[in-house]
Amino acid sequence: MDTVDLARLQFALTAGAHFLFVALTLGLATLVAAIQTRATFSRDPVHLRMTRFWGQLYIINYAMGIVTGLVMEFQLGLSWSGLTEYAGNVFGSALAIETLVAFFVESTFLGLWIFGWDRLNRWAHLALIWVVTLTAYASAFWIMVANGFLQHPAGHVVDGGVLRLVDLGAMVANPAALVAFGHIMGGAMITGGFFLAGVSAYHLRKRTAEQDFFRKSLRIGIGMAVPALFVTVTFGGLGFQTLQPTKTAAWSGSPAEIAALQAQMAAAHGPGDYMPPVGPVHGAGITMMTLWLVMTVVASLSGLLVLFRPVVRGFRLWHWLLTLMIPVPFVAMLSGWIFRELGRQPWAVYGLLKTADAMSPVSAAQMRFSITAFATVFAVLIAINYWLLARHAHRGPAAAALGATAPAPAPALSF
């Protein structure tokens, strides 16, 4: 592999790994906010305990996602200085807003929510988790605005050999960003719903003492996943209308269309290969759609089964299936991400800046060392996150520390 391929592989590994954390964080934030809303209005102790248990898993994943995001931005600066020098004035504005939203607003209100249990009014505490959830989606929105610009540049002019932002509204209203955001939002809710249902099914299968707790959690997870699947496929269908011509040709696999577009792009931009790799792009798209169909079948059948309480409590084969389904939304979302990003090649900014020109001036040896270091760090972070999530999910709600009241100190003995 040459230096450019190594740099692309490094970004694919780091961004893809970070994307896993983002998907679960968005889905769990929505579910926790919905559950706490029910608990606040009804004062139901079961839903309050559900908020604490699932909220603790959300916090674990959120914290690890922040770490992976920082590492990913570090490698972006090291390996892609050409991109930031040429287009940083445009897409960097969206990333700057995202940073303000994610690290200042979202993190601040999340801290208040974590430490505000039994200290704040229950309505104020509920408002905090909704602010956290909405700012999480705002953060994802600005990321997709930046990515949408790379896919379909809008709102810019070329000034002195670099891009300059002249119309923020055009960049924000970019269909390539708006449709993708809806698609991502639905996918995150699918991920959170299947995670909730899968962990609940595990405890129901193990016959833990919290049967009512996990029966209700399973129903909530499936109730989130079913509509989210149809939201996702709707935005996915709209997304095909925003594809670049080269990506559309790679998806269709038509040799005549591919040859015609290659000749057209070469005439416009000079000699070179302007078509993305057809096999991987097509395979990623097929994988994403196949897994969506599998999830839709499983979620739809589960939506019927949850209506029968004896089935929810005792259908062990179904419990096994839901537990095994936990990783499926992650694979589907990664496949969609590969389809979207690999289909843009060989462009970093479509039609304006090639990926090879977006790289930093680094050697192949430096890039090999860098990719080894980043892959190791991300592998460790993913392993730690999996271990923490599995450990706390296995221990159940009785061991949840979030919102737990500290025991009063023992009275001093006097003689």
Q: What is the pLDDT of residues 61-110, one digit of tens each?
A: 998 888 888 777 777 777 888 888 998 888 888 888 888 877 788 888 99
**Does the pLDDT value for residue 317 go beyond 70?**
yes
**Does the pLDDT value for residue 410 go beyond 60?**
no
Count up the domains in the chain and report the number.
1
Q: Considering the domain boundaries, does residue 98 fall inside one?
A: yes
Tell me the torsion sign for CA atoms 305, 309, 313, 315: negative
Question: Which of 143-157, 214-228, 354-368 is least confident?
Answer: 354-368
Can you tell me the distance from the alpha carbon of 322 to that of 200, in angstroms, rounded to the nearest whole number? 9
- Whether residue 372 contacts residue 20, with contact meaning beta carbons closer than 8 Å, is answered with no
Phi, psi of 308 (to 5 degrees): -115, 110
CA atoms in the 13 A half-sphere facing the CB of 151: 29
Phi, psi of 158 (to 5 degrees): -95, 120
Distances 46 to 193, 216, 274, 320, 398 between C-alpha atoms, Å? 19, 9, 57, 24, 12
Average pLDDT over residues 158-170: 90
| Residues above pLDDT 90, as percent of the chain | 52
Q: What is the pLDDT of residue 255?
A: 87
pLDDT band at residue 291 using 50, 70 and 90 as cut-offs: very high
Nearest-CA neighbor of 326 among 235, 209, 192, 230?
192
- Say if residue 227 is preceded by a cis peptide, omega within 30 of 0: no
pLDDT band at residue 408 using 50, 70 and 90 as cut-offs: very low
- Whether residue 75 contacts residue 342, with contact meaning beta carbons closer than 8 Å, is answered with no
Q: What is the pLDDT of residue 404?
A: 66
Q: What is the pLDDT of residue 91?
A: 85
Q: Which residues pair with 59 in a beta bridge?
A: none
Average pLDDT over residues 247-260: 87
Does this model's pTM top 0.85?
Answer: yes
**Does the pLDDT value for residue 36 go beyond 70?**
yes
Q: Considering the domain boundaries, does residue 164 fall inside one?
A: yes
Average pLDDT over residues 236-251: 90
Q: What is the pLDDT of residue 300?
A: 94
Q: What is the pLDDT of residue 414?
A: 40
Question: Which of 9-13, 139-143, 161-165, 299-303 is least confident?
Answer: 9-13
User: How high is the mean pLDDT of the chain?
Assistant: 89
The listed range with the strongest mean pLDDT (390-394, 400-404, 405-409) is: 390-394
Q: What is the pLDDT of residue 415?
A: 33
Q: Considering the domain boundaries, does residue 415 fall inside one?
A: no
Q: 102 is in which domain, residue-wise? A: 3-244+276-397
Q: What is the pLDDT of residue 366?
A: 85
pLDDT band at residue 405 using 50, 70 and 90 as cut-offs: low
Residues in the chain: 415
Question: Which of 37-51, 61-75, 153-167 is least confident?
Answer: 61-75
List all residues 6 or more positions away from 44 whose beta carbon is below 8 Å from its beta carbon. 38
**Does the pLDDT value for residue 45 go beyond 70?**
yes
**Does the pLDDT value for residue 11 go beyond 90?**
no
Q: What is the pLDDT of residue 218?
A: 94
More confident residue, 170 or 17: 170
The separation between CA 133 and the C-alpha centre of its own chain, rounded to angstroms, equals: 14
Query: What are the contacts of 375-384 at 24+ separation with CB within 8 A?
Result: 375/10, 375/13, 377/71, 378/13, 378/14, 378/17, 378/68, 378/71, 381/17, 381/64, 381/67, 381/68, 381/71, 382/17, 382/20, 384/64
More confident residue, 4 or 71: 4
Q: What is the CA radius of gyration of the chain?
A: 23
Can you tell me the distance from the alpha carbon of 295 to that of 414, in angstroms, rounded to the nearest whole number? 65
**Does the pLDDT value for residue 209 go beyond 70?**
yes
Q: Considering the domain boundaries, does residue 250 fall inside one?
A: no
Q: What is the pLDDT of residue 27?
A: 94
Phi, psi of 162 (to 5 degrees): -130, 165
Q: Estimate the crossing angle of helix 45-79 against helix 107-115, to 10 degrees.
A: 150
